[in-house]
Structure 1
């Protein structure tokens, strides 16, 4: 039992990778839309590459979105608009006319019988005006239905009375019957009472329109089983394209039913498993340092799952907006945290997975791969704000050019270009700019370090470096010199120069606790080591590594930077104090005079070890020459190699030679050596 648990703990990293692998497969397959995959791939404007296709079953030809939209617009223009008749306004108009008539004609010389006749005529005119209601401005494009007492009746255009038309009717009614003065008063008395009483009923009109729209058929005609749909080599044109799309939709919906469900699910699972297996194999073979770090592996898989989830969510809701998903964020982020090759490889694998679910998969895969390559080639030095904007602009341009090309292939011209597609690409670019805050978020969640953070850490005005310059100015100056040497060497062999520079700036911060015990900080001839036993002196020297790590953790430095503090002396020997101890104790224990390690495990940490040793020892050179510097650098680096300090670092002999060459050149510049001219 104990042995089994021991094996489990030893292999828990591997078990975690298995768990991550299978849970990722399950989630991706779960994200996929519920539907089969049509076995033929076709595009409008391209020849049919398969054998003659006959209808495998009866199916209906679906109308295109444009056809359905045209029918809907036509129905909207024909569907009746409903107006509600308000009888209270009509009754008020009669009452108000009676009051107005009495006030106008009570002092009139007209006989009462004549006044009664005028009053009756005014009421008749109001009756005729309000017979079909008075409208403000009815919809002239559609039929008008007037609802009176819950009964709707259709009105002709001649029956519809507006305020303007009502005034004309009133004037015509009283044109020749009475004298001008009387007629004018009567027209005013009647017209002032006319107010609109037929109002547009939106709810009723919308219900009527919805009822009509629901009657629209989404199909036009049927294709019977066995009918030839398209022949081999025939160009997929508009009509054939619609029929093929209808067959594809019917096929995929039918395929998902019954026992086929499990076979399709199994097929998706196998394909996704193969893609993710390729990712694991790539990491294990070409990026072992990432493969061995479960946090980094999890980070990569989380990003893949996030892109798959967002894309499938968009496809399920509205596949027309699939290009809104900023897929180029994936290679951009992975290149920022790791390297360009890994970023592009993961990007391509993610696109292969999404190719199962997106429409026009060939176009999608082509455009996204090209955009991913552009991202990898153009995105660099993200800590410079303009670089991201320039790169996003180039990515957006590639999308637009690609869309133009595919549209030309499909349509044979530049007509019917959908301007909304350009808006989608621009929106994609704007969302891609969100990569900057996303990188910051990932740093906090996964403990990773980006170039942006490294740039912030390299600021010599930061709190920790400011404290170092105040407490140990000699060490601070030494760190600056080492940073310059290491950065130049890293650039020469293609290592991460920004990371090396930051590591060099912080590698000796542990000396702040006892600055005067280190020679670069001693400003007088008094050496505190003269009063200490060699063992204690060696312990103080060695402890600056441990104390530096503690100080770095306290100030929140990332682990990638702390690695430089751990490894910059490796397991090297404090030779000076060991020799002094041997004078007192010939059988002195070497372990007490050796740094705890570990030894460098990357190109960057190996470069720092070389640069640190060379710069520190160069202070002992008196009247240096070219030959002296050459032999000096060779001796130090050779000693480190013989001590197996670079055994775990992925640095080659050729790269070590290049580093030595840079160190020699830089030291020559530091000591201002000039060419010796012949006398």
Structure 2
């Protein structure tokens, strides 16, 4: 239940528009009438255009320094006699003075700018003296300092005073000072006020008004009205009662989805269902994916495809199997449909990608396989997204190629699954194929110790591992797991190696000095000893299961029958039986068959194909009669396939040739 509440907490707490529609496509539902009054919202393009128009028409504010004009005018009166002496004609002297006054008035009519600005010449300008508006004009009427020489020259030429041009320019170069300063803060504030006053709606729709009819194409105003209704429906304020109802509804849906997963585990993966750690691990990963996706959507939904959802089936396949991985992936994607935009498109892409992940990724411990599979997953994302875009837009002209980069990043993020699997192994005590590969190395400390203390048992384990791996490949079982299980299944024999025939190199049998019951006890205890050694060396539970079950509840028949003959009466069979449990998976069942066949094959004298066939049949049929495979999910057909493999492998071991007719 904690997972349900955590997931519901991440879900949006508003209503969800119950109709799906696409621009340019027919309306598939019945005639739609407005359920309440609502405003028609402007599209993003309309809002953007309006903002651009306001920005282009925004008024510029400049502060005027009124003292500058009087200072320049007075300075002109004092400097003019110094530049132009009384020696020049009186008429020219007076004309030059009048022209200078006119130029000053023209320059400071609206003002002289402090610096150059790249504003449009048609922009409106307000000149302020303190808080008082002095002028309202265009930016083109304001004078920039670099324009002063040209204005002075033009006035001189117009008055016919060209001989005095150089002196006049020199005079005004020292004379003119800017008196306008751009008020950026006020300009920006005025612009922002105008943008804030933008109306985000245009018109309204009254309750019970027909919005769209069935079969009508969703385009133009119809599309915008539907978008407005959807937005209004999902963003309206909810009362406490509505809010509680939404929470209850989400809780029911999430509970239903997770219940389906639990039912799947109970029916098809009972060993996982009964293991609280594994169930917690599954739910934790589902919640983690939903949490990461929610955070990305809340930040920016355009990055939604960067989240490596396909890590989920990869992790579950590594620790469990493909069917559980795909089932959990589909459940997770269905839950994400409540959070992500364009939920149908998103779910289609992710489910297809999950299927490809399950089908293509095999033998995760091989790095090349993971890289190839990630490339295939990325390609599927790109192809599916491209197809959806063309269906929606009808062309590729407006396609956002940037999205393809998100898919590539998603593929690269999927490669993070390798270190993630390692971390999960340490946190949850699980075992993956990568760890199994490490354990299958015969140079590990435990297997080296086995080869030193019990070389015959070590050789027997290698033979069993080869037989079991071949059988597992034949019926589609986990070959890596069964190989590791076979290598370690007899490590308990290290405690008393001389009591097992494969380690008796001197010809002396240690059992000759023991009673049948004592001998049977030592033989049986190698299972218990093996479990203790395995736990001491931190072997995974999946490997220890092979040690527990490789003899099931079978009887140490040699000592049992010996005791029966000796006492000539009925003997307690329980004293000569292994404690079990019986094999409970295909892999543990295969190991039991291969272990019994390989051990007993040493007693074959002058083996022939006929003898080997009968020998394998007798051993495995006896195990079936004793119901050793009753708890294992293995079929008679698979058992027959295993028999064929064992017969062929034993024939190869004994180098048997085809018997030609005489």
TM range (shorter): 0.7 to 0.9
Q: 3-state SS of the aligned residue for 1:619?
A: helix
Verify the 8 A CA contact 1:255 1:261 in the aligned structure 2.
no
Q: Is residue 208 of structure 2 the alignment partner of residue 226 of structure 1?
A: yes
SS for the counterpart of 1:229 is: strand
Instruction: Give the conservation status (yes or no) of the 8 Å contact 1:36–1:255.
Output: no
In the TM superposition, residue 547 of structure 1 has moved relative to its aligned partner by: 2.1
**Aligned-partner Cα distance in 2 for 1:465–1:144:** 89
Unpaired segments ≥5 residues, structure 1: 1-21, 98-107
- Structure 2 partner of 1:27: 6
TM-score normalised by L of structure 1: 0.81
The answer to whether the aligner puts 1:473 opposite 2:444 as a matched pair is no
SS at match of 1:248: helix
Distance 1:323 1:223 in 2: 36
Q: Give the SS at the match of 2:603.
A: coil
Shift of 1:376: 2.1
After TM superposition, the structure 1 = structure 2 runs for residues 368-387 of structure 1, keeping only pairs within 5 Å, are 368-387=350-369
Q: CA deviation at 1:484?
A: 1.0
2:24 corresponds to 1:45? yes
> What is the correspondence of 1:307-386 to structure 2 with a 5 Å cutoff?
307-386=289-368
Residue 598 of structure 1 corresponds to: 581
Structure 1 Cα separation of the partners of residues 237 and 169 of structure 2: 80
Asked if the contact 1:45/1:237 (under 8 Å) is kept, the reply is: yes
Q: Superposed, which structure 2 residues align to 1:656-671 within 5 Å?
A: 656-671=639-654
Determine which of 252, 255, 279 is the counterpart of 1:270: 252
Which residue pairs with 1:560 in the alignment? Answer: 542
**Is the contact between residue 489 and residue 663 of structure 1 (CA under 8 Å) also seen in structure 2?**
yes
CA deviation digits over 1:431-486, x for unaligned, max 9?
33332222223222322222222222222233322333333333222212111100
Q: CA deviation at 1:136?
A: 5.2
In structure 1, what is the Cα distance between the partners aligned to 2:126 and 2:493?
92
Q: 1:46 to 1:174 in 2, by over 3 A?
A: closer
Q: How many angstroms apart in 1 are the aligned matches of 2:608 and 2:387?
A: 64
Most deviating of 618-627 and 248-257: 248-257
> Structure 1 residues 209, 178: closer, same or farther in 2, change over 3 A?
same
TM-aligned CA distance change 1:49 to 1:650, over 3 Å = same
Conserved? CA contact 1:135–1:160, under 8 Å: no
In 2, Cα distance between the equivalents of 1:543 and 1:163?
105
Aligned with 1:389 (options 368, 371, 382) = 371
Question: Do the aligned partners of residues 318 and 185 (structure 1) sit closer, same or farther apart at CA in structure 2, a change above 3 Å counting?
Answer: closer
Count residues with an aligned counterpart. 638
Change in 2 beyond 3 A, CA 1:589/1:416? same
SS in 2 for 1:268: helix
Native 8 Å contact 2:468 2:594 kept in 1 = yes
- Unaligned runs of 5+ residues in structure 2 are 76-81, 89-95
Alpha-carbon separation, structure 1, partners of 2:512 and 2:183: 102
* Aligned-pair CA distance for 1:530: 4.0
1:190 positional shift: 5.0
2:479 pairs with 497, 504, 509, which one?
497
* Aligned counterpart in structure 1 of residue 46 of structure 2, from 64, 67, 84: 67
Match of 1:619 in 2: 602
SS of the residue aligned with 1:34?
A: coil
- Using a 3 Å threshold, how does the CA distance of structure 1 residues 621 and 262 change in structure 2: closer, same or farther? same
- 1:620-675 residue CA offsets vs partner (Å, 9 max, x unmatched): 22331111111111122122223322222121222111111111111111111111
Cross-structure match for 1:677: 660
Q: Report matched runs for 1:223-262 at 5 Å.
A: 223-254=205-236, 256-257=238-239, 259-262=241-244
Change in CA separation of 1:517 and 1:258 when aligned onto 2, cut-off 3 Å: closer
Give per-residue Cα distances to partners, 1:266-304, cap 9 Å, x unaligned.
333333333333223222223323222222222222233
CA gap of 1:465–1:87, structure 2 versus 1, over 3 A, is: farther
Counterparts of 1:345 and 1:109, CA distance in 2: 97
Checking the alignment, whether the CA contact within 8 Å between 2:589 and 2:629 is kept in structure 1 is yes
- 1:132 aligned partner: 112
Paired with 2:63 and 2:402, the residues of 1 have a C-alpha distance of: 40
In structure 2, the CA distance between the partners of 1:582 and 1:231, relative to structure 1 (3 Å rule), is closer
Q: Deviations over 1:8-31 (max 9, x none)?
A: xxxxxxxxxxxxxx3333333332
Contact kept, 8 Å, 1:329 with 1:435, in 2: the verdict is yes
1:462 to 2:444 alignment: yes
Structure 2 vs 1, CA of residues 591 and 78 (structure 1 numbering), >3 Å: closer, same or farther? same
Aligned-residue offset at 1:144: 7.0
Residue 650, structure 1, aligned to residue 633, structure 2: yes
Q: Matched residues in 1 for 2:181 and 2:559: separation?
A: 103
Shift of the 238–456 alpha-carbon distance from structure 1 to 2, 3 Å rule, reads farther
Cα distance in 2 between the residues matched to 1:673 and 1:148: 113
Shift of 1:589: 4.9
The answer on whether the counterparts of 1:76 and 1:209 sit within 8 Å (CA) in structure 2 is yes
Offset of 1:503 from its aligned partner? 0.7
Q: In 1, distance between residues paired with 2:169 and 2:195?
A: 51
After TM superposition, the structure 1 stretch with the greater mean CA deviation from structure 2, 265-274 or 33-42, is: 265-274
**Are the counterparts in 2 of residues 53 and 228 from structure 1 also a CA contact under 8 Å?**
yes
SS of 2:204's partner is: strand
1:436 pairs with 2:418: yes
Corresponding residue of 2:590: 607
Deviations 1:148-197 (A, max 9, x none): 8688877754466667556767988999889999899989x959x99x99
Quick check: 2:113–2:145 contact (8 Å CA) kept in 1? no
In structure 2, the partner of 1:541 is: 523
Q: Secondary structure at the match of 1:243?
A: helix
Segment drifting more, 473-482 vs 358-367: 358-367
Contact 1:482 1:504 in 2 (8 A): yes
- d(CA) in 2 for partners of 1:66, 1:281: 49
Q: CA deviation at 1:205?
A: 5.5
How far the C-alpha of 1:87 sits from its partner, in A, is: 12
Quick one: distance in 2 between partners of 1:215 and 1:390?
55
Task: Give, in whole Å, the separation in 1 of the partners of 2:355 and 2:312.
Answer: 12
CA contact (8 A) 1:85 1:133 kept: no
1:522 Cα deviation (Å)? 3.4
Looking at structure 1, the residues matched to 537 and 5 of structure 2 have their Cα atoms a distance apart, in angstroms, of 41
The corresponding residue for 1:100 is none
Q: Is the 8 A contact 1:33 1:312 kept in 2?
A: no
TM-score (norm 2): 0.83
Q: Call closer, same or farther: CA 1:424–1:220 in 2, change over 3 Å.
A: farther
The CA deviation at 1:575 is 3.0
1:501-512 alignment, distance < 5 Å: 501-512=483-494
What is the CA–CA distance in structure 2 between the aligned matches of 1:143 and 1:518, rounded to whole Å? 104
Measured on the aligned residues, the alpha-carbon RMSD in Å equals: 4.1
CA–CA distance in 2 between the matches of 1:47 and 1:84? 58
